[in-house]
Every structure is written in C-alpha cells, then in structure tokens.
Structure 1
Amino acid sequence: MDIATSFSAFHASEHAVSDAIRKLKSKIINPKLILAYFSENYDEKLIQQVLTAEFPNSQILGCSSCQGVMTDEGYNRGEGIALWAMCDYEGAFGSAIVSTNQSPYDMARQALLRAIDNSGRPGELPALILLHSSPGHEEEVIQGIEDELGIPVPIIGGSAADDHVIGNWKLFTHEQRCKEGVGLCVFYPSCNVSYSFHSGYASLGMSAIATRTEGRELIELNHRPAIDIYQEWIGQPLSGENSIVSRSSLNPLGRIAGKVHDLPYFKLSHPLKVTQRGGIELFANVDEGEELFFMEGTEERLITRAGRVIDSAFDICSASQELDPIGGITIYCAGCMLRVQDRMEEVAHYVNKAMHHMPFVCPFTFGEQGQFVGGENAHGNLMISAVLFHRD
C-alpha cells in the first residue's frame, strides 16, 4: 500500500497536467484511486481526458480549489494542479458524479450507489466517503447519503470552489464532468483510517434564536433583523454593505453539534452578505428555532489549528492501535485561507509536521464536511476536516 502526491504550477493546462502526471508516476505504480485538485483557470475536460488515458484502471475524482492548493511540498498560491494517488491492491475504491434536475438529496443517493457499483463492492458499507459537491445544498446531500446507507459512515469533504465566489467551480470523474452536481468517492481500504473535524473557534457567550429563516438566509434573530443583532455582537456597522465575507471570517455563527464531557463543540455558518430586508445570507443552512452563538477566532488559531486537527485524528485511534501513517487528505476552508494567505506556508509547516511528513493534499473549499467526535456527519464553514491512512 502506498500514497503519493504531485504538483505542477505551469499555467497551460496541458503542460500542468502532463508535468503532474510525470512526477506522480515517478513515485507510485498502478494507483487504484487518483484525486485531482486544480484552480479554476484549468481546462477540466483536458485534465479528465489525460488522466483517464494515463490511468485507465484508476477511479478518478477531480474538484476545483480556491486560488491554489496545498500538498506535502508546501502551499501553492494562485494556481496549480495537485494529484493524490493511492495504490492498495487489497482495497477497493469507486467514484461517481450525478448532475441532473433532481433534488440534491436524490442525486446524492444515486451518486453513492453508482460509486459503490464502480468499486466492485456491492452490498458492503464503505469505510469512508469523500464528498465534493457544488455549493448550496450540502445538508441535503449528507442526508441523502446517510438515508441510503442507514448508518452514518464517516464523511470527509469540501464543496467545490472557484477564485472569487462567482460560480466557476468544476467537478469531474473518469466518467463525467459537471459544474452543478454531487461527486463522491467510496473507500474500502485495506488499512486503518482515522479522521477529525473541528472549527477552532470559541463561543463568546452571546447567543440568539433564529426566529425567521428562508433557505440560507437568516432573516431574524430574536424577532429582530439578523444584521442588527450581528452588528451589535461584532461592534461594527455592516448594514450598508453587500459582501461581508472577509469581515465576518473571524466571527461566524455557531450551532452546538454535540458535547464531550459537557463541553459543546460547534458547527459554523459563515456570513456571506447582508440582504435587502436586513437578513444575513450564509454558506450553510440554519433552521428556525436553532440557537446561534457568536463565535470568535484569531489568525494565529487559523494558522496552527490544521495541525491540531490532524493531531486529533491521531489521538482518536491511538489508544487502540499503534499508528504508522502513510498519508492523508485535509480539507481547509477557502475563507480561512484567504484570511491568512500571506502566512499559509506556516500552515503547511504545521500540517506537514502533524502528518509526520507523509504525502497529503489539501484543497481550499467553500464548505467543509466531516464527522465529529460524537459520530455526527455535518456540513459547516470555516472548518477543517482531515483523514489519515495507517498501515496495519
């Protein structure tokens, strides 16, 4: 069993994918699974065709990333193509995309069944699901996956991203390409798997009830315009602005996802913009009646926490087995990356150290999915999700 990564920053799609493939082939032979992460300026059709031709026996899943990508070689700003490959002769993998006019819930169920069929393991529960869908309906997608399986199999994932949140995200497998849809991969590895999902933000103690919502618009908190309450919490005037993504990145809204030893852990919702009726558009759903907490993070925490999330994945399973990591996957929020972009080399350093300098890939996404320590799969914003693979 082996994991390898490669990266190329050539601007032309054909040069970048060829360079990344050449580097990958020097490290690994006959991978069963290839993941591709790339900036929006690259031609996903060409990447798909070249990868499929070079690796005809591999399952492939590709997803666009915001303004670069990170690997064990470091942080790569602006543009580039990163490949992650796993060779596991005793394991199995299957990828699929569904892009139809059906609901995200139904597309997720169909994508899951197609991926399991492509893995050659019908009737078996996967050990892990990697999810990459277009942004907007991630909660429905997770619900569809869980309802189809009947058991909450661990999910790690991130929503496809572009450079400036204008809809230029892209997804592909060896079989299909799309802009809007559900892409995923099922894992049946012959190794041990550990995972972690965290926010790294702390509640400041202030909270309010969502008294009116519509889709991803939080219209009222405590029966008042949501932006009024949020402005009071953040201490800044925001009602005259449209996009508040940058100003809200250190102060998202949190909901309690569960508790460990009576201490709550949170899933976050990142405010995107102020609506005409004084509401706040979010990157995640909020239901009426939910309690929302005012959260706070710091740039220092954004820089160090990726390593801590990976350490947590080690801690979760180290009590029952001796760990010998061979590599992993990390999902890092694009909003967090943009906030500390000039210090992302430090983030790469902490992740490399936590990964024991094993191969990893890390896209920058517009929503993160993972499984909390309590077993809940969830979608959140400004979060980090990580999975590690360990030799038996």
Structure 2
Amino acid sequence: MDIATSFSAFHLSEHAISDAISKLNLKVANPKLVLVYFSENYDESLLQTSLQEAYPHAQILGCSSCQGIMTDEGYNRGKGIALWAMNDYTGAFGTAIVSTNQAPFDMARQAVLRAIENSGRPGELPALILLHATPGNEEEIIKGIEHELGTSVPIIGGSAADDFAQGNWKLFTHEQSTQQGVALCVFYPSCQVSYSFHSGYATTGMSAIVTRVEGREIIELDNQPAIKKYQSWLGKNSNNDNTESIISESSLSPLGRVVGNVHDLPYFKLAHPRKVTKRGGIELFATVEEGERLYLMEGTEERLVTRAGRVIDSANDINNSQKLDPIGGITIYCAGCMLKVQHRMNQVAHYVNRAMHSAPFVCPFTYGEQGQFIGGENAHGNLMISAVLFHRD
C-alpha cells in the first residue's frame, strides 16, 4: 500500500491540475482512490475531466477548501490544488454524490449505498466513511448514513467551503459535480485505520438552556434573547438593532454541548455562532435542539496552533496501547480556526508533520467538521479537528 500527495499553486486551472498530476505520478502508480482539495477559483469541470483521463480506474472525490490547503509539504495560503492518492492492491473504495430535491436524510442514504456499489463490496460494512457535504444539514446527513449502516462505522469529514462564505463551494466525483448535495467515499483498506475527533476548547462553566430555536437560529436562551445571554457571558452589551457577523469574535468563544464522559470528564461538540439576527437570536453553523444545555466554551490562539498535532497523536495511539507509524492520513481543520491563526499556520503544519512522522497527509479547511468521538458517537461540530490515519499491518 502506498499513499502520496502533491500540490500546485498555478492560477490557471489547466496548469495547476496538470502540474499536480505530474508531481503525483512521480510518487505513486495506478491509485485506486484520488482525493482532490482546491480553492473556489478553479474550474471543477476541468479538474474532473483531467483526473478522469489521468486515472481512469480510480474512484475520485473533490471538495473545495477555504483560502488554501495544507499538506505534508506545508501550509499553502490562498489558491491551490492538492491531490491525495492511495494505491491499495487488495483494498477497495467507492465514491458517490447525490444532489436532488429530496431531504438530506434520504440523499445521504442513497449516497452511501451508491458508494458501496461503486466499491464492488456490496453487503460489506466499510472500515471508514469520508464525508464532504455542502453546509447546512450535516446532522441529518449523518443520521441518514447511520440509518443504512448503523452507528459502528466511523465517519470523518468536513463541509465544503469557499473563501468568504458566499456559497461558492463545490463537490465532484468522477461521475458528477454539484454545489448542493452529499458527497462521500467508503473505504475498505487492507490496513489498520485509526481516527480522532476533538475540539481543544474548555468549558467556562457558564451555561443556559435553549428555550426557543428555529432551524439553526437560537432565538432564546433561558427565556432571554440569545444574543443578550451570550454577550452577558462575554461581559459585553448586546445590540439587537442590526444583524451583524460575529464569526471572528466568537471563534474563541463558541457554544458547546456535552456528548459523553471519559473518566468522569465531559467531552463536547461545538457550535460556532455565525451572526446576530434582527430578533436578537444567534445563527449557528450547527443545529441545536430546544431543551439542550449550551455551555460557553473558551479557546486560545496557542491551543488552535498546537492542537492539530495533539489530535493526530491521539489518533496514532491505537487502543491506547500500540503506537504505530502511519503510512499517511487525512486531517480536517476548521476554516474558522484557520482564519483566526492564519499568521501562524506554518507552525500548525509543523506540528501536524511531526505528529504524522512526516508521512503524506492532506488537510482542507472546512465549514463544519465530522468525526467519531472516543465514546463511538459520530457527530457534526464546528471549530474542530478530525483526523484519520492509515497504518501498515
């Protein structure tokens, strides 16, 4: 088994993809799976066609990333295309996209069944699912996958992103492309797989009950306008007169929900406040339910820089007993965190490379992260890191 990556920063789509393919071909032959992460300015149709011609027997999955990509070659700010390829003679892989007017739950069910069919392993549970959906309904998508496969199959992934949250995200496989839908890949690799999903934030202890919610907007916390409660936690005065983005200021102060406990210590999934609404609500990048308790979480710039390496260290520790050197891996890093520490992303790349033992990896910057917690729960969250590592037997 071999894993290899390549990267190109040429501005023209045809030059960038040709360069990336040429570099990849020097490292790996006849890959069965090719993942593609790219900036929004590239022509996804041209990328798709070029990759089909270069790798006619490979399953392909492409997803746009926010303002750059990270690989084992380092952090690449702005424009670029990264390829990640796996050559596994006895393994199998299948990719699929479903983009219809159906409910996200049903699209996810169809996508995972089609991907399994494309893998040639019908009736067999995959070892891993890599999920890339367009933002907005990730919780329902996870439920749809679990409806078909149960809860034992780990899901890792990240929601497609663009540069400025304007809806310019893109997804494609070797079969089709979309700007609204569910894309995923099922893995049946001939090696050990390990994974990890963490936030790196700590609770402040301050919390409130969601007393009114609509979609992804929290309208009230403890029967008060949500922004009033949130700003009181931060020691600020709320202003409900106009809608305003709070993405940047809230990236170190997200809202958390307890998922489970390990040794009596809770672990959380995060929801990133996106903007204030006219009625004093808070719009999120994740869905919360009425009656849930939300905790004010806190993070620091230093934690955002170092935690990616720690998450990979955690994934490297299989069953907390046997540490192996990875052949390669995939890391999902939140775009909101990346933007907060963009001036220090070269340090983030250093920590990830060290944790990966310099093995090839790719890391897009996404608008929501999916992973499986230590307790076995697949979940969608924000401001989080998800990682999967592949180990030679």
Aligning the two structures, in what range does the TM-score lie when normalised by the shorter sequence?
over 0.9
Conserved 8 A contact 1:69-1:364: yes
Residue 322 and residue 291 in structure 1: after superposition, are their counterparts in 2 closer, same or farther (change >3 A)?
closer
Match for residue 292 of structure 2?
290
Residue 279 and residue 4 in structure 1: after superposition, are their counterparts in 2 closer, same or farther (change >3 A)?
same
Match for residue 264 of structure 2?
262
Quote how far apart the aligned CAs of 1:241 are: 5.1
Match for residue 143 of structure 1?
143
Conserved 8 A contact 2:245-2:274: yes
Matches within 5 A, 1:42-53: 42-53=42-53
Conserved 8 A contact 1:131-1:156: yes
1:375 match: secondary structure:
coil
1:152 match: secondary structure:
coil
Separation (CA, whole Å) in 1 of partners of 2:299 and 2:272: 12
Quote how far apart the aligned CAs of 1:318 are: 5.0
Separation (CA, whole Å) in 2 of partners of 1:124 and 1:152: 13
Match for residue 277 of structure 2?
275
Separation (CA, whole Å) in 2 of partners of 1:254 and 1:281: 14
Structure 2 residue 204 is the aligned partner of structure 1 residue 204: yes
Structure 2 residue 388 is the aligned partner of structure 1 residue 361: no
TM-score relative to the length of structure 2: 0.98
| RMSD, matched Cα | 0.8
Quote how far apart the aligned CAs of 1:325 are: 1.1
Match for residue 41 of structure 1?
41
Match for residue 387 of structure 2?
386
Match for residue 117 of structure 2?
117
Match for residue 14 of structure 1?
14
Deviation by residue 1:130-167 (Cα, 9 ceiling, x = unmatched): 00000000000000000111233100000000000010
AA of the residue aligned to 1:225: P
Deviation by residue 1:163-183 (Cα, 9 ceiling, x = unmatched): 000100000000000000000
Report sequence identity in percent.
76
The one of 304, 310, 313 equivalent to 2:312 is 310
AA of the residue aligned to 1:3: I
Conserved 8 A contact 1:227-1:278: yes
Quote how far apart the aligned CAs of 1:209 are: 0.1
Matches within 5 A, 1:207-226: 207-226=207-226
Separation (CA, whole Å) in 1 of partners of 2:62 and 2:359: 21
1:205 match: secondary structure:
strand
Say which is worse superposed, 22-31 or 238-247, in terms of deviation.
Answer: 238-247
Quote how far apart the aligned CAs of 1:234 are: 1.4
Match for residue 78 of structure 1?
78
TM-score relative to the length of structure 1: 0.99
2:359 match: secondary structure:
coil
Separation (CA, whole Å) in 2 of partners of 1:355 and 1:253: 30
Match for residue 106 of structure 2?
106
Deviation by residue 1:291-333 (Cα, 9 ceiling, x = unmatched): 00000000000000000000011124351x4513100000000
2:163 match: secondary structure:
coil
Q: Which runs of 4+ in 1 moved over 6 A?
A: none
Deviation by residue 1:212-240 (Cα, 9 ceiling, x = unmatched): 00110000000000000000011234535
Match for residue 327 of structure 2?
326
2:279 match: secondary structure:
coil
1:36 match: secondary structure:
strand
2:244 match: secondary structure:
coil
Count of matched residue pairs: 391
Match for residue 348 of structure 2?
347
Conserved 8 A contact 2:316-2:325: no
AA of the residue aligned to 2:120: G
Separation (CA, whole Å) in 2 of partners of 1:84 and 1:306: 19
AA of the residue aligned to 1:279: G
Separation (CA, whole Å) in 2 of partners of 1:210 and 1:152: 30
2:205 match: secondary structure:
strand
Residue 266 and residue 89 in structure 1: after superposition, are their counterparts in 2 closer, same or farther (change >3 A)?
same
1:153 match: secondary structure:
coil
Deviation by residue 1:23-74 (Cα, 9 ceiling, x = unmatched): 0000000000000000000000000000011100000000000000000000
Matches within 5 A, 1:114-193: 114-193=114-193
Quote how far apart the aligned CAs of 1:269 are: 0.2
Separation (CA, whole Å) in 2 of partners of 1:217 and 1:227: 11
Structure 2 residue 377 is the aligned partner of structure 1 residue 373: no
Deviation by residue 1:259-281 (Cα, 9 ceiling, x = unmatched): 00110000000000001110000
Separation (CA, whole Å) in 1 of partners of 2:116 and 2:333: 26
Residue 252 and residue 141 in structure 1: after superposition, are their counterparts in 2 closer, same or farther (change >3 A)?
same
* Unmatched tracts of structure 1, length 5 or more: none
Separation (CA, whole Å) in 2 of partners of 1:365 and 1:21: 23
Separation (CA, whole Å) in 2 of partners of 1:238 and 1:167: 28
1:327 match: secondary structure:
strand
Conserved 8 A contact 1:238-1:244: no
AA of the residue aligned to 2:172: F
Separation (CA, whole Å) in 2 of partners of 1:306 and 1:151: 25
Structure 2 residue 276 is the aligned partner of structure 1 residue 253: no
AA of the residue aligned to 1:374: G
